[in-house]
Structure 1
Amino acid sequence: MAGKSKYIVAVIGTAVVAAGAFAAYTFLLKGPSGDASGALASAKIIPDEAIMAGYITTDSQAWAKIEEFGTPEAQKLFAKGLEEFNKSADKEGYSYEKDIKPWVGGIMFAVLPPSPVKPAQAKASNKPEPELLMVIGIKDKIAALNFTKKVDKKVKTKETEYKGLKITEAIIETKADIKGNTKNTPSYTAILDNNYVVYGSSKRSVEQAIDTFKGEPSLLSKQGASEILSKGADLKNTVAQFYIPDYAGMIDSLIKSDPEMAKIPPKALDSLKQVKSMVVGFGIDDAGIRMKATANLDPKLNVYQYEPTNSKIVSTLPADTLALINGQGVNRWWDAMLNQSKDFPELQTALGAARTYTRYANIDLDKEVFAWMDGEFALAAISSDKGLLAQTGFGGALVFDTKDDKTAKSMFAKLDSLAKTQNVSVKQRNIGSKQVTEWDVPNQGAVVAHGWLDQDTVFVALGAPIADVLTTQNGKSLESDDSFKTITSSLQKPNGGYFYLDMDKTMVLVNKFATGANAIDPQSKAFLSSIRGVSMTATSSDKTSSQVEMLLSLKSKTK
């Protein structure tokens, strides 16, 4: 830990070594505040060559929200980790709270294309790596100057000049391997306008930032960049955002720097390039940690037409559901994949093999399997300790709404006939007013069951006890379950369906099987126990944009 702390502090320290030269007292003593609004100002220093960028706020009020969550065990672990970090930093003569926190404003980083390599210098085993550039706001010049005096005595540096500005090269000694051998890692910094520290993994990246500061095109000059940086990810209490203003340009840059990427079929690359730009944000709100990713799409390349779902099928599932994926229109996904397979020989071969396999059972994969899956669907894992499921603790269910029940019934009849040829007993059982077909395997019992919940909704249950739960509908449904509502209710609506995971119900299963040598360590267990659940959804207003939202729902702080 001490080694890591020394490296972290040294990197931050070298970023302000050159600050000792400027006259801090002759300028305003306060600079960038470090909140989310600082991204636009920092982006003016990022070269337009950047293939992606990110901004992390250092506003303590934004991050303080996380302190409202966590079990007592998780809080103790967090406090212990912070204490160890502070102790290791103290050994190096630094205090984060006193020496670093007061002056560090928002941090923007960018990934730049690798430096050009001459063919004679290139090695097959040594691919050129992208370069990292960081722009750190100085929100308190006096605090930065005081820290500089401490760092200046501990790090070896040398200065060069570029376009009237000083670039400081610092040599940081770090451990290179487990035997304790060390290596010298250079880093480069410059002070811009006495408000920003520029840190680069190479001298060239810092020079590019200076060029931008002097008037060369910045990240904001890229088409669409200013808009996505201004709008951000539309989150409450944003703590970090990541931007890709030119997604196709990023793909092209990766291809040039990585020979393996060049092997990807052109059509596959074209499908990736349907994304024009993207912004991803993370925020901390009353529910937990939330992520939103918004992609601006090229409608000419977007082959899938989004359709929202009303999620009515969730009401057919029991409150004991521990995980769920639901959505709309499996048939349209299948059609889109068939259309794309024309450009991908491997996919076309795989689909052809699947069609041949189902043809042996006298089933047409396109017309008799996927064609009738035109409504909402759900795939669920449901807690159960009855019968065969006592060993696993859960079973599974597939539920489909369809407008073509005739084709669906025909397919299930063919599957029943196929099962009979495989030494499986196929029998009927009435559960209340509903008839269920079960596949009974010798010495195991009913492993699969299927039936109709109403004239439009068919289900397949993995485990007979799950069929009983689905058809009787005794007790609460998942839709009315408090945990489900807490974990999913704040997600945007309408949407294309949910991914849902109840962590408490999942941990019951994890603790059941994770014993002895496979037991979860106390730290991981404390972290997982602080999570209420995970939910995710996707929306799309039209073919020009798509948004994904995910919530890590956390338990409120307890004493």
Structure 2
Amino acid sequence: MIEKIKPNLVLTVGVATLLVGGGIAAYYGLVSRKFLEGVPLGANVVPQEAMVAVSLSTNSQQWDKLSQYGTVPSQAALQEILKGWQNRVFTDNGYNYQQDIQPWVGQEVMIASLPNPSLISANPRTPEVSTTLNQQAMVMVFPIANPTKAKELLSRPRTLQQGQTTQRSYRGVDIIETQGNPKQNYSISVLGQDFLVVTTDPNATERIIDTYRGSDSLAKTPGYAASLETIKTTNPFAQVYLNIPVATKIASYRSPNPIPDKNLEQVQQHQGLATNINLEAQGVGLKSVSWLKPNSQKKFTVENKAQEILARIPENTLIMVSGSNLKRVWEDYTHGANANPIAPLNPQVLSSSFKSATGMELEKDVLNWMGGEFSLSLVPANPNPRALERFVAGLVLMVKVSDRNAADKALTQLDEVMKNKKFKVSETKVKEQSAVQWVSPFGGFMVTRGWLEPDVAFITLGGAVADQIVPSPQAQITSNPLFQQTIPMGLNPNNGNFFINLERVFDPNIKTLSLPQLPPDQKLWIDAIQSIGLTTAIISDRTSRYDIFVKIKTPSTQLPPTATPKTEP
């Protein structure tokens, strides 16, 4: 039965009632309840169908450290974001986080997104379902570490500024709901003496209670606890979980081109992606793991052979990506892109465009012999005042081939194609080593191809950079201090790396790339980051790992103490 409470009634009295009354009653009934260890505490009551769940540390020292990252503008922007979130969740509802929440809350709080139940069902796309896409409920789970303190602090009088409250009961748990606030309505409940739960939707509250009573929780997701163990870190700032099947289904419904059911079924074989985020001395470290469902037909190929290619990449490289097997990378991307409505590159379009331009099959004639280590890098060209260079950087592809004869045949065929397109194709020498060069009929654009070893081919496009890799670079990227500080080294052997020197790539004073001017609200975040590094590895036929490090700049001057608002989660 729902009972309306007068608009001016103090909201917090109701919350305290939940703690004292229904909370204690539930506590005695569930005193023997045990929660799974090794997972965020809130994961025990968040439903398994949650699309995203983020567990945040409540340690004030961690939040203070976060506020010290970046440039002065990015710090100010971050503080405004945190302050706005704090106002919406706490201040606007009469609470002060430090005074009213922090003294009793546990070591972490969880924020989760629950999609509408009709979207999770196996029903086909319907107009009724489409109208509910944006009706995702936000859930906040506050573990109660000190019930006595929680009752004391939440009992202090506070008046709800707008709207009214109603009280009802569901499965023995009392629920208070705010109504009439144009900014946000909330549903609040206390589960035993374990959790204070706040949601933006009454139905979401009931789903949380169902989970607390025994329905499948996020903590019981197949592979979740075991996967978290593989990325376990000390005192993470945040732990993030993405439900890949649910997220893909929602993305498909939102896309103007929904994913075909056949391709959607492929993605459903994936289970989840989990990440631990740690605040380190020079930036933010992320340890991630993705895993397949236990009964999935899909399996990963365990192949971690991407170490040798790094020795061939020049020290001054701005962007690079490497991997163990280019052919397999393309095959995996093609299968994944078919079920990804936001894939940045359509493989079918690229394949058909390549065939239209060359008369050759991309997969059969080219990628088929690229079965070894590879790297794709952006390298600054050496300044040459006498050359009429239109490009100040060159793109470099190096790949270990699995079939030299097939490679020679395909490359020779490409030479003929370029001749027919009026390119000047000729033999050339790069540091006394034979190579083939294509020069566009309009000048400026140049392609150089050759061999570094009998089984290692190279192709450069754009600026003249071949002399920096033939026969080997004068200095390797592994000797670059920034690369060393950025690339995570924990996964060895590994399946590949990614590195970008953001500071140089986006520096307007270094004309390496002709990039468009970024909007101010994006530029301030880019300006705060120096570099990003990624290392990947295939751990088993159903588990893959990703370590990421974001190296963040430090401002030369901090915000004045009086202008720095206290950072709170």
* Fold conserved between structures, TM > 0.5: yes
- Report the counterpart of residue 544 of structure 2 in structure 1: 546
Q: 1:279 aligns with which of 274, 277, 296?
A: 274
Q: Does residue 377 of structure 2 align to residue 372 of structure 1?
A: no
The SS at the match of 1:19 is helix
> Could you say what secondary structure the match of 1:465 adopts?
coil
1:466 is matched with 465
1:239 — aligned with what? 237
Aligned to 2:109: 107
Instruction: Specify the alignment match of 2:159 in structure 1.
Output: 152
After superposition, residues 312-351 of structure 1 pair within 5 angstroms as 312-333=308-329
Q: What is the match of residue 401 of structure 1?
A: 400
- The equivalent residue for 1:413 is 412
2:291 to 279, 288, 296: 296
Moved more, 294-303 or 84-93: 84-93
RMSD: 4.6
CA distance in 2, matches of 1:447, 1:14: 71
**Aligned to 1:535, what secondary structure does the other structure show?**
strand
Contact preservation (8 Å) 1:397, 1:462: yes
Does residue 134 of the first structure (1) align with residue 133 of the second (2)?
no
Q: Residues 411 and 224 (structure 1 numbering): CA distance in 2 closer, same or farther, change over 3 Å?
A: closer
Distance 2:490 2:502 in 1: 18
CA distance in 2, matches of 1:332, 1:456: 18
- Is the Cα contact below 8 Å between 2:306 and 2:322 reproduced in 1? no
Match of 2:563 in 1: none
Aligned residue identity for 1:507: F
Report SS of the residue matched to 2:318: strand
Secondary structure at 2:532 match in 1: strand
Alpha carbons of 1:350 and 1:475: their partners in 2 closer, same or farther (altered >3 Å)? closer
Q: For the Cα contact (< 8 Å) 2:446–2:464, is it kept in 1?
A: no
1:59 alignment partner in structure 2: 59
Q: Is the 8 A contact 1:232 1:281 kept in 2?
A: no
Q: 1:376 offset after TM fit, Å?
A: 0.9
Corresponding residue for residue 7 of structure 1:
none
The answer to whether the Cα contact below 8 Å between 1:232 and 1:279 also exists between their aligned partners in 2 is no
Which whole-Å deviations, capped at 9, do the CAs of 1:79-114 have from their partners, x for residues lacking one?
Answer: 677789999998997654444444444322444452
Distance in 2 separating the partners of 1:341 and 1:554 = 31
What displacement does 1:219 show? 0.8
Distance 2:530 2:524 in 1: 12
Corresponding residue SS for 1:371: helix
Q: How far, CA to CA, are the matches of 1:400 and 1:110 in structure 2?
A: 43
Shift of 1:428: 2.5
State the Cα deviation string for residues 477-525 of structure 1 (Å, max 9, x = none): 212111111111435221111111111221225875999994653x654
Superposed CA offset, 1:43-77 (max 9, x none): 33334565654422222234444356434554466
How far does residue 17 in structure 1 lie from its aligned partner after superposition? 4.8
Verify the 8 A CA contact 1:103 1:144 in the aligned structure 2.
no
Task: Give the counterpart of 2:15 among 5, 18, 24.
Answer: 18
Residue aligned with 1:534, SS: strand
* More off after superposition, 484-493 vs 497-506: 484-493
Query: Residues 43 and 268 from structure 1, CA distance in 2 versus in 1: closer, same or farther, beyond 3 angstroms?
Result: same
After TM superposition, the score normalised by the length of structure 2 is 0.75
Question: TM-score w.r.t. structure 1 length?
Answer: 0.76
Indicate the structure with greater helix content.
1
> Residues 55-94 of structure 1 correspond to what in structure 2 (within 5 A)?
55-67=55-67, 69-71=69-71, 74-75=74-75
- Once the two structures are overlaid, the 10-residue window that deviates more, 279-288 or 48-57, is 48-57
Q: What's the secondary structure of 1:186's corresponding residue?
A: coil
1:340-390 alpha-carbon deviations (Å, 9 max, x no partner): 9999xxx99869846854773xx5645541232121111111123636786
Q: Contact between 1:296 and 1:544, CA under 8 Å: does it hold in 2?
A: yes
Closer/same/farther in 2, CA of residues 223 and 154 from structure 1, 3 Å limit: closer
State the distance in 2 between where 1:137 and 1:318 align.
51
SS of structure 2 residue aligned to 1:508: coil
Report the more deviating stretch, 332-341 or 295-304. 332-341
Kept after mapping to 2: 8 A contact 1:503/1:531: yes
Q: What runs of 5+ residues in structure 2 fail to find an aligned partner?
A: 1-9, 28-35, 340-345, 558-569
Alignment equivalent of 1:527, drawn from 525, 528, 535: 525
SS in 2 for 1:174: coil
Deviation string, structure 1 residues 99-153 (Cα, Å, up to 9, x no partner) = 4444444322444452569x9x984762363433332123455366435535335
- What does the per-residue CA deviation read over 1:214-269, in whole Å, with 9 as the maximum and x for residues that have no partner? x3334167452663486374234312223467x55x479859x9597995333212
- For structure 1, which segment, 454-463 or 405-414, has the greater mean C-alpha deviation from structure 2 after superposition? 405-414
Over 3 Å counting, the alpha-carbon distance change for 1:274 and 1:85 in structure 2 is closer
